[in-house]
Amino acid sequence: MAAKFATETAAKFWITLLAWAIGIDLFLGVMDLTSPREGTGFLAGLVSWGGMSLILAAFPAGLAASKPVLGEELVWQRWLGFGAVAASVSAVLFLLAGWIGPAVLSNVMGPENATHPAVLSLGELRGALREALDQARALGPTASKDDWFRANQLAFHYFSRVDGSILPFLFAWFGVFVGFWLRLVQRKQLRWAQVWAIGLLLVITTYLAGENSYELIAMQSAGFAGFAADIRLIVPMVMVAVLGWPTFLSLWSRSQQA
């Protein structure tokens, strides 16, 4: 019974995830291709936004799996099973962002961009970051933000990939918890309005956290600012905690009464 539940839930979650991810990636790829700034082509746009599309798609996928995962009582096996499913998305994204994506971009962007952080694998990024850190630190306290530019650029790309791999796990659980509480909303129109509002909030906070932390912190620091990429984790972690705890208490209370 537990195996059947895990298989059905995983299938529903992944089908929803892939459907949304493909749609989001195509939309973002077209937007990137048609933007005023110089692009690197449609394929490069799809690869560049592929990670973001998986992250964002985890939210509606979590919504789709909410009812079977969170029933009327607290069932630990279902929580643990869904945790494993959500973690599988993070594992896939870690592989894509760390090695597969950079390999594809390297072929698309050509040898003239061989040192760009986007085309470096996770291991190559780590090695380049160590070298850049040694060079910047060797300049001493008089080093300017220009001297730290390369190190902070590489650090932001490196930690963005690592931290970004955690986001699908958080977004999936957030979708599950949102779906649980939306059951209390009787009007269908109001439920959909709240879902789209929450989804828009996730898009805005994730994008702005990444853009602003890069532009305002990483690129402006006359010192190591490796923490800048971690800022994008704050809002999703808070959201999961704020909804997860009362969800657990509610289900635990029902289990005790039962």
pLDDT at 49: 84
Q: How confident is the model at residue 5 (pLDDT cuts 50, 70, 90)?
A: confident
Q: Quick one: 100 exposed, middle or buried, by C-beta within 10 A (0-12, 13-18, 19+)?
A: middle
Percent with pLDDT over 90 in the chain: 77
Higher pLDDT, 48 or 236: 236
Q: In a 10 Å sphere around its CB, with 0-12 CB exposed, 13-18 middle and 19+ buried, how is residue 112 labelled?
A: exposed
Give the residue among 116, 58, 111 at the shortest CA–CA distance from 85. Answer: 58
Report the pLDDT averaged over residues 17-42: 78
Q: What is the pLDDT of residue 136?
A: 97
- At residue 179 the predicted structure's pLDDT band, cuts being 50, 70 and 90, is very high
Domain residues for the domain of 88 are 2-257
Q: Residue 47: pLDDT above 90?
A: no
Q: How far, in Å, CA of 18 to CA of 99, rounded? A: 20
**8 A C-beta contact, residue 165 and residue 93:** yes
pLDDT score for 35:
67
Our count of domains for the chain comes to 1
| Least confident stretch, 4-13, 98-107, 154-163, 239-248 | 4-13
**104-118, 209-223, 230-244: least confident range:** 104-118
Closest CA to 175 of 57, 19, 90, 92: 57
Q: Which two tokens stand for residue 40?
A: 């690197």
> Following DSSP, what letter does each residue of the chain receive, concatenated?
-HHHHHHHHHHHHHHHHHHHHHHHHHHHHHHHHTSSS----HHHHHHHHHHHHHHHHHHHHHHHHHHHHS-SS--HHHHHHHHHHHHHHHHHHHHIIIIIHHHHHHHHH-GGGTTSGGGS-HHHHHHHHHHHHHHHHHTGGG--TTTTHHHHHHHHHHHHHHHHTTHHHHHHHHHHHHHHHHTT---HHHHHHHHHHHHHHHHHHHHHHHHHIIIIIGGG-SS--GGGGGGGGHHHHHHHHHHHHHHHHHHHHHHHH-
Tell the residue number behind the tokens 């949304």, with chain if given. Answer: 20
Residue whose entry in the numeric block shows the structure tokens 């853009």: 211
Helix axes 42-69, 149-164, angle to 10 degrees: 40
Average pLDDT over residues 129-156: 96
| pLDDT band (50, 70, 90) for residue 41 | low
The tens digit of pLDDT for each residue in 73-125 reads: 899 999 999 999 999 999 999 999 999 999 999 988 888 889 999 999 999 99
pLDDT in tens, 50-63: 889 999 999 999 99
pLDDT score recorded for residue 27 = 87
- d(Cα 48, Cα 209) in Å, to the nearest integer? 17
Task: Please give the pLDDT value at position 1.
Answer: 57
Residue 38 pLDDT > 60, yes or no?
no
Checking if the pLDDT of 236 tops 60, the result is yes
Instruction: Specify the pLDDT at position 19.
Output: 97
pLDDT surpassing 80 at residue 232? yes
The structure's pTM equals 0.94
The average pLDDT across 129-136 equals 97
